[in-house]
Amino acid sequence: MTDLNTGDAIPELRVTPDKYLPHRYAGASGDFNPIHIDPEFAKAVGLPSTILHGLYMMGLVARSATDAAGGDPKALKRLSVQFRGMGAPETEIVVSGTVKSVDGEKATIDVVAAQGENQTIRNAEAEVQL
């Protein structure tokens, strides 16, 4: 059983996706929206360049919570997120969180994913089995 207590900060997860990650993720997810893989298209619709898939960012939030609960992906019992910003390849993503509550063998963790000041995911809540 992992020792998590209310108010504890979970270890930060730091990931810097390379410029090809959106292409690999598109293949894995089936989401080939050109805003993720075509820089010229992304710029034509007003973006600075391609952006990361939101579900990739959500996956990092899930990974951070399960890592805090001992590393078993099956420990994640519920995940709720709010997408609030666009993520960019080649920019470090920092996922951080705080244990909101612990009830027996269940912990609820508030989680945020950010690239610098840009909080791409806010008000995320993960429930994990300890």
Q: Where do the domains of the chain lie, and which CATH numbers do they carry?
A: 9-129 (3.10.129.10)
For residue 50, which amino acid is it?
T
For residue 96, which amino acid is it?
S
pTM recorded for the entire structure: 0.93
Three-state DSSP at 65 gives helix
H helices of the chain, in order, are 21-29, 34-37, 39-44, 54-68
Cα atoms found within 13 Å of the Cα of residue 50, Cβ hemisphere only = 21
Residue by residue, pLDDT tens for the chain (130 residues) are 468 999 999 999 999 999 999 999 999 999 999 999 999 999 999 999 999 999 999 999 999 999 999 999 999 999 999 999 999 999 999 999 999 999 999 999 999 999 999 999 999 999 999 9
